[in-house]
Amino acid sequence: MWVRRTVRQLTIVGCTGVIALLLGVFTASATTSLGPHEARIATNVSHVIRVDLGPLGSLEIPSPAPWPLGVQVDVGEIPATLTEVENPLQSLSGDVAAYAAFFADPRAGIEDAALALVNDAARRTVLVWSLLLVAVAIGQLAAGGLLRREVREKLRRAGVAPLAATTALAVLAVPLSAALTARPETGRPSAVLSELGGPLAEARVSGQVAALLDSYGERALEELRKNDEFYAELATNVRAAYAEDAEPLAPRRPLAPVVPEPAASETPTPDATESPTADVSPTEDATETPTEDASPTSSPSPSPSPSPTRDLLPPDPVTLLVISDNHCNMGMGPVFGELARQSQADVILNAGDSTLGGSSVESICIDQIAKGLPADVPVVVADGNHDSSETSAQEAKVGWRVLDGGVIEVEGLTIVGNVDSRLTSVTLGNREYATRGEAAQVVTDAACAAVGRTAASPEASRDATPDASPSGRDDATGDAGRAADGNDNDDAADADAADDDAADGDDVVDILLLHDPYTGARVMQSGCVGLEISGHLHRRVGPTQQGLGVVYLSASSGGAKEGSVPIGPLQADAYVTVISYDRANHVPLALREITLGRDRQVTLGEWEAFPVRPTEPVTADLSVEAWPNR
């Protein structure tokens, strides 16, 4: 008896659940956004996704959902007109940003809309199911079993059962007829969308949307074809250049380290004086104007001899591919990937400024570069002043290791670095989160702690380190302030201790990866890092001695130049560097700069030696005059 009762109750629960689910799914609706527009979406049984753009026409694509589920999208006007806001220009720029955000990553908008529909369908299903179960329970309690017996007796009468079946079929026929009835097709297929492929390849368009695609779509396609052809040929030329090169992976013979000639003095490399109100350009970094530091003690001579000899381990080389300042040149992704494969890179080092302004829309820039790179080669990035926390999150999402002030180990290398302490962006403005001195101290502390040393205080290395202020200091305390604190002797002792430790040999963090070389110059004074790799200036500097180590600055890998945005075929030559590094002895062995020309030619530079690490602090001159035509 109880078995039949249980089966009966479960059947009732199941049947009411199916009815509730069907009603919930086929009546779901939600309001979401399509760029700056409000859009009302609702499910139906047409098995078509139809986007109604009002006077602009419509767009239809086959529904990927199970038959017969379809979706109707009614796009409304932009909620606020220009006359309803205080600042029309600001409102319009916000609309443009909303359009850009949607079309840069439409999948996110579609996923949000689908989630809203699912949530509404779930709410409707639960509500209808609950009401049906309550109605059944009330009926059972009220009838006390009599209703069930009455129904059985009625169904035994002649003609009642067929009538009940006919009624049920009639109820089901209404939605089924709507699903089975062939709807007249509106609009026509678009050759432009078909060639682009993707989810809109089978779309049918009508109205002004169709006219716009006919008028401008072909032009856009032609530009896309040219762009794809340019970078595909560039990648092909990378393969050809490596195939013809006599020393594709490393110099045939080990290169002797360069011992710089002693100099009476060197011009220090001061920081840039940047105007917070200046127009922002992704290439303005290359034109920073240094300020002179008048301190006579700020330019020690480079060491004329290498560090004291020590027992060397058998070399254990690792290949690094260095890119920097790509500034959202998405076409370079496959080229970087081909360079990584041909050079057999073990690690890709990105010195920052992967985007133009660090906005969320620019996730497509990171995605496209990441797609072009080999999946098995780790990428380490130190974000630049044109990147942001949004950029860091996007890079982490694609699997890159984003440096955040600590020391990490990748492929047997120890790497330290951090995001830039500033933000320079058209969309997000100019901000400074920390001074260069403060930013350098964070990285210095991490590097020195990793090798068991005590980092010198910022003041200890300030005289030998470039600064943003004319006095060569980050703050107004100066020498008098330090003397008043009574810490000047301790600071000098810390600096001397760092020099002694650096001379001991190989107890250093292998690589400092920082976008800003002026911040890096402070870190290199500590002697806790052997090699600094930076970008920011859009021109090559080095390799040359810096602090108690060696510095190398990469030129733009995206062909960024002043006054232009690196979108489309290269408008200026791009540069990528391959570095061979001995991780057993913690020294760089050789580098070669690869030029990717506007004429699609690829030039593999000669292998070059690195200078030895100095035994006395050196302040490198990073000026254009010191490194012309680089």
| DSSP structure string for 252-303 | SSPPPPB-PPP-S-----PPB---TTSPP-TTGGGGPPB-----TTS-PPPP
How far, in whole angstroms, is CA 494 from its chain's centroid?
39
> What are the distances in angstroms from CA 349 to CA 227, 345, 515, 579?
26, 10, 11, 10
Whether residue 381 is contained in a domain is answered as: yes
Pick 222 or 197 by higher pLDDT: 222
Euclidean distance between CA atoms 310 and 416, whole angstroms: 25
Cβ atoms 364, 398 nearer than 8 A: no
Euclidean distance between CA atoms 14 and 474, whole angstroms: 73
Euclidean distance between CA atoms 104 and 599, whole angstroms: 29
Mean pLDDT of 441-460: 81
Last residue within a domain, chosen from 162, 183, 204: 183
Q: Looking at the predicted structure, is the pLDDT value of residue 243 above 90?
A: yes
**pLDDT tens-digit readout, 336-363:** 999 999 999 999 999 999 998 888 778 8
pLDDT of residue 137: 80
> Nearest to residue 421, comparing CAs of 352, 539, 516?
516
pLDDT of residue 520: 96
pLDDT of residue 559: 92
Euclidean distance between CA atoms 570 and 317, whole angstroms: 33
- Statement to judge: residues 525 and 442 lie in one domain: yes
- Statement to judge: residues 255 and 164 lie in one domain: no
Euclidean distance between CA atoms 540 and 517, whole angstroms: 12
Count how many domains the chain has.
2
- Statement to judge: residues 16 and 138 lie in one domain: yes
Of the given ranges (61-65, 458-462, 516-520), which has the lowest mean pLDDT? Answer: 458-462
Structural domain boundaries, residue 561: 245-261+316-476+485-609
Q: Looking at the predicted structure, is the pLDDT value of residue 488 above 50?
A: no
**pLDDT tens-digit readout, 172-221:** 666 656 555 655 666 677 776 776 666 666 777 777 667 777 776 677 77
- Statement to judge: residues 343 and 249 lie in one domain: yes
Whether residue 71 is contained in a domain is answered as: yes
Average pLDDT, the chain: 77
Cβ atoms 588, 538 nearer than 8 A: no
In sequence order, what E strands does 180-330 have? Answer: 188-189, 204-205, 317-323
Model confidence at 168, pLDDT cuts 50, 70, 90, reads low
- Statement to judge: residues 170 and 250 lie in one domain: no
**pLDDT tens-digit readout, 586-614:** 999 999 999 999 999 999 999 999 999 99
**pLDDT tens-digit readout, 564-586:** 667 789 989 999 999 999 999 99
Q: How open is the CA angle 624-301-264, to the nearest 5 degrees?
A: 85
The residues near 178 (Cβ < 8 Å, ≥ 6 apart) are 44, 45, 46
> Nearest to residue 300, comparing CAs of 325, 266, 324?
266
- Amino acid identity of residue 65, one-letter, is A
pLDDT of residue 364: 82
Mean pLDDT of 396-405: 96
Cβ atoms 508, 577 nearer than 8 A: no
Give every strand in the sheet of 407-410, ordered side by side: 407-410, 413-417, 509-513, 529-534, 549-553, 541-546
- Statement to judge: residues 163 and 252 lie in one domain: no
CATH of residue 455: 3.60.21.10
Whether residue 189 is contained in a domain is answered as: no
- Amino acid identity of residue 286, one-letter, is A
Whether residue 327 is contained in a domain is answered as: yes
**pLDDT tens-digit readout, 493-514:** 444 444 444 444 458 999 999 9
Of the given ranges (24-28, 219-223, 445-449), which has the lowest mean pLDDT? Answer: 219-223
pLDDT of residue 82: 38
Q: Looking at the predicted structure, is the pLDDT value of residue 230 above 70?
A: yes
pLDDT of residue 197: 65
- Statement to judge: residues 124 and 255 lie in one domain: no
Pick 464 or 305 by higher pLDDT: 464
Cβ atoms 71, 49 nearer than 8 A: yes
pLDDT of residue 482: 31
> What are the distances in angstroms from CA 193 to CA 110, 210, 216, 382?
18, 10, 12, 38
Euclidean distance between CA atoms 75 and 33, whole angstroms: 9
- Amino acid identity of residue 458, one-letter, is P
Q: Which value, in Å, is the radius of gyration of the alpha carbons in the chain?
A: 33
Cβ atoms 68, 47 nearer than 8 A: yes
pLDDT of residue 320: 98
- Statement to judge: residues 169 and 253 lie in one domain: no
Q: Looking at the predicted structure, is the pLDDT value of residue 556 above 90?
A: yes
pLDDT of residue 587: 95
pLDDT of residue 264: 45
pLDDT of residue 301: 36
Q: Which two tokens stand for residue 363?
A: 């996730």
Euclidean distance between CA atoms 567 and 71, whole angstroms: 36
DSSP per residue, 374-399? -TTS-EEE---TT--HHHHHHHHHTT
Q: Looking at the predicted structure, is the pLDDT value of residue 319 above 90?
A: yes
Whether residue 146 is contained in a domain is answered as: yes
> What are the distances in angstroms from CA 230 to CA 59, 233, 234, 426?
32, 5, 6, 28
> Nearest to residue 339, comparing CAs of 608, 607, 593?
593
Cβ atoms 528, 448 nearer than 8 A: yes
**pLDDT tens-digit readout, 68-112:** 888 888 877 644 443 444 444 444 444 444 554 454 445 556 667
Handedness of CA 383, 387, 388, 392 (dihedral sign): negative
> Nearest to residue 359, comparing CAs of 381, 321, 386?
386
Q: Which two tokens stand for residue 434?
A: 């920390």
Whether residue 618 is contained in a domain is answered as: no
- Statement to judge: residues 250 and 348 lie in one domain: yes
Mean pLDDT of 392-408: 95
Using DSSP bridges, classify how beta strands 347-350 and 379-381 pair: parallel, antiparallel or unpaired: parallel
Model confidence at 546, pLDDT cuts 50, 70, 90, reads very high
pLDDT of residue 51: 81
> Nearest to residue 532, comparing CAs of 443, 628, 438?
443
Q: Would you tell me the crossing angle of helices 389-397 and 363-372 to the nearest 10 degrees?
A: 30
Model confidence at 250, pLDDT cuts 50, 70, 90, reads very high
Euclidean distance between CA atoms 607 and 253, whole angstroms: 10
Whether residue 237 is contained in a domain is answered as: no
**pLDDT tens-digit readout, 111-163:** 677 788 889 889 999 998 898 888 888 777 766 655 666 666 766 777 766 77
% of the chain exceeding 90 in pLDDT: 40
- Statement to judge: residues 422 and 507 lie in one domain: yes
- Amino acid identity of residue 440, one-letter, is A
pLDDT of residue 205: 76
CB contact burial 379-400 (16+ within 10 A = b; e otherwise): bbbbbbbbbbebbbebbeeeeb
Q: How open is the CA angle 129-130-133, to the nearest 5 degrees?
A: 85
- Statement to judge: residues 441 and 578 lie in one domain: yes
> What are the distances in angstroms from CA 260 to CA 301, 549, 609, 618, 625?
10, 13, 12, 11, 18
Euclidean distance between CA atoms 399 and 74, whole angstroms: 37
- Residue 272 DSSP class: B
Whether residue 240 is contained in a domain is answered as: no
pLDDT of residue 25: 87
Q: Is the pTM of this model over 0.75?
A: no
Euclidean distance between CA atoms 134 and 12, whole angstroms: 12
Tokens 């890179």 correspond to 345
- Residue 217 DSSP class: I
Pick 322 or 96 by higher pLDDT: 322
Pick 130 or 9 by higher pLDDT: 130
- Residue 22 DSSP class: H
- Statement to judge: residues 320 and 179 lie in one domain: no
Model confidence at 48, pLDDT cuts 50, 70, 90, reads confident
- Residue 185 DSSP class: P
Last residue within a domain, chosen from 135, 152, 183: 183
Note the maximum CA span of the chain.
118
